[in-house]
Amino acid sequence: MNRVFGLVGRYMILMARVFSRPEKARIYVRRTLFEMQGLGVNSIGLTFIISIFIGAVTSLQMFTYLRGAGAIIPPHLIAFATREVLVLEFSSTVVALILAGKVGSSIASEIGTMRITEQIDALEVMGVNSAGYLILPKLIATVIFFPMLAVISIVVGVFGGYAVSIFVGLMPADIYIEGLRYHFDVFSVSYSLIKMSIFAFLITSVSAFYGYYAKDNSLEVGRASTQAVVVSSVLVLVFDLILTQLLLL
Amino acid sequence: MIHIDKLVKQFDGQDILRGVDATFEQGKTNLIIGQSGSGKTVLLKCIVGLHPIDGGAIYYDEVCFSSLDNSSRRGMRRDMGMIFQGGALFDSQTVEENVKFPLDLFSSQSEAEKRERVQFCLNRVNLNGAGRLYPSEISGGMIKRAAIARAIVLNPKYLFCDEPNSGLDPKTSVVIDGLIAEITAEYNMTTIINTHDMNSVRRIGDTIIFIYQGNKLWQGTKEEIGRSDNRELNDYIFAAEVK
């Protein structure tokens, strides 16, 4: 228990340093744009591929199981259910878990390698707040960009469901679109985007924390990277539950 | 000038530095020597403030650096340049960008002035053709020279070098030693160098302190080191010669 409190304390101290006044705002803006490219834009492809297939598979499963169970349901509800699954859970939580693996390990290993090769010490000796310089631009970049990835995931996933429905002949296009429009609540999209912003903060800050305190050698950097992915994934699931309770109920 | 007074450093309750006193003079290359694990890297990192100290004091000229708060220390660090054992250049930046980095953060010069200063520093360390290359594309000796250029770009008053010749061939070591000594004299800096290279000691050791098991056992010059009657120092020199 003491170890957990110790970790939380160190995390809080690091975050206080991350949010202290930057040396030169212009440099931070430039770095934030650079990180958006590295952590956000470079994740679009992965998000696209996963979402299109999950959207298609969800539509097929809805059709097979709802019809197979003998339920008499109008076909447009299959599109409705696909949309709800994507908006409420898949495009935020599942995409966040996937990004925790890709982006989280990349952040932890990048900062961890900088630690063991004394690049962080070099920043400190120059008088740079290394925590702020290295972590703040990544945090801003992901908190802004991850919700955009959620939107891309929703759109692409819905299109995947649409495409499979038309090609396999589950239902005509107009019925699918009717289902997409059925009982649409804008708040469910806001809920998804709020969740994704918070997940982005958790994934980035936790991964940066493990990287920043990596020590000694490359084995430790690998270990820090694994811990970053595991801890941020668990936190995503825990906060998914908490946020759902807070925002939806 | 840098003065350390009864410096104590512990890790996990174990003494690493046991009340080290020393004075490092301005305009001279001050060497810290000692075998691996003797505490010389810890001493250097304590002096630059990378490790908090457990006792004693560190003075930069008249200022007690060890009693300053973080923001005052950060201000003073702009007068320091440091060359790390592996160079510690930023992998994601070219040599030119690495050297320009402190100027981007701490100077109000125009882009043209910064470029001119970077070019001057790269020329000074004979790296004029390598500005556009990344650290992974240059040799160990070039990395050290780029690190020297980055360390001097803000005209520091204090220069710290941790094992500047480690991993370098003897010929390149001569070049790096010569460069550090020349720059020290040229800018009248207080330079502290950690080394276990006896050739460096003989070439550039204006003042030398010998650290053994966390204690300072001897202090003198390159001329005096051969006449020392300190047993541990003589053993160390003998082992270095045999190697």
Nearest CA in chain B to A133: B105
Nearest CA in chain B to A21: B71
Give B161-216 pLDDT, tens digit per residue.
998 888 888 888 888 899 899 999 999 999 999 998 888 888 898 999 999 999 99
Binary contact (A125, B160; C-beta < 8 A): yes
Strand B158-162, strand B190-195: pairing: parallel
Per DSSP, chain A holds a count of helices (H) and strands (E) of: 11, 0
Cβ-Cβ contacts under 8 Å for A181 (sequence gap 6 or more): none
Q: What integer is the mean pLDDT of A159-165?
A: 94
Contact B209, B192 (CB under 8 A): no
Q: What is the pLDDT of residue B242?
A: 66
Mean pLDDT, chain A, rounded, equals 93
* pLDDT range class, residue A115, cuts 50, 70, 90: very high
Cβ-Cβ contacts under 8 Å for A178 (sequence gap 6 or more): A76, A79
Mean pLDDT, chain B, rounded, equals 91
Confidence check: pLDDT of A25 > 90: no
Output the pTM of the full model: 0.89
Q: Rounded to an integer, what distance in angstroms lies between the CA atom of residue B205 and that of residue B227?
A: 15
Q: What is the pLDDT of residue B156?
A: 92
Contact B210, B33 (CB under 8 A): yes
Contact pairs from chain A to chain B, CB under 8 Å:
55
Classify B226 as helix, strand or coil: helix
Confidence check: pLDDT of A218 > 90: no
**% of chain B beyond a pLDDT of 90:** 62
What residues in B contact A128, CB-CB < 8 Å? Answer: 105
Binary contact (A27, B80; C-beta < 8 A): no
* Chain B CB within 8 Å of residue A124 CB: yes
Rg (CA), chain B: 18
Indicate if the alpha-carbon torsion angle A129, A133, A134, A140 is positive or negative. Answer: positive
Q: What is the pLDDT of residue A231?
A: 97
Return the structure tokens found at B188.
């009248």
Return the structure tokens found at B20.
């080290």
Binary contact (A121, B89; C-beta < 8 A): no
* pLDDT range class, residue A69, cuts 50, 70, 90: low
Contact B193, B210 (CB under 8 A): no
Return the structure tokens found at B195.
């080394």
